[in-house]
């Protein structure tokens, strides 16, 4: 991808660090990103191994919603964001509606 001159690649990280969700989304928004691709390299001892790639595009469908829920579950692991996202519950219909509205507003820019 980096060799394609029509693309501008912006990394949230290249080292074994964990920037919180807020800083990653702020970076995407400041960069006026058209697409946010999340590539996971699973190296921990678990049943998951290899790489996973998640792309959240403008189409609203059940698969995208499940990916968004899965990605946003990490909020509960991030100490820094606990207060910011204290009311977010990925299993709550109200939280998912709010997430969908925020996503739609972002996509309309």
pLDDT in tens, 8-44: 888 888 887 777 777 777 888 888 888 777 776 766 6
- Cβ atoms 72, 91 nearer than 8 A: no
**What residues does each domain of the chain span?**
21-107
Contact present, 74 and 18 (Cβ < 8 Å): no
Per-residue pLDDT tens over the stretch 37-94 = 777 676 666 676 666 666 655 555 666 667 666 666 665 556 666 666 667 776 777 8
Strand partners of residue 77 = none
With 0.85 as the threshold, say if the pTM is over it. no
Q: How many CB atoms lie within 10 A of CB 31?
A: 11
């Amino acid at each position: 991808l980096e060799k394609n001159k029509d693309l501008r690649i912006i990394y949230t990280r290249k080292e074994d660090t964990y920037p919180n969700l807020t800083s990653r989304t702020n970076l995407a928004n400041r960069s006026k990103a058209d697409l946010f691709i999340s590539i996971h390299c699973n190296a921990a001892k678990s049943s998951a191994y290899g790489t996973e790639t998640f792309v959240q595009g403008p189409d609203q469908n059940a698969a995208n919603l499940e990916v968004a829920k899965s990605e946003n579950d990490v909020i509960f692991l991030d100490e820094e964001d606990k207060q910011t996202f204290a009311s977010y519950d990925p299993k709550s219909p109200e939280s998912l509606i709010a997430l969908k509205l925020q996503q739609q507003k972002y996509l309309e820019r």
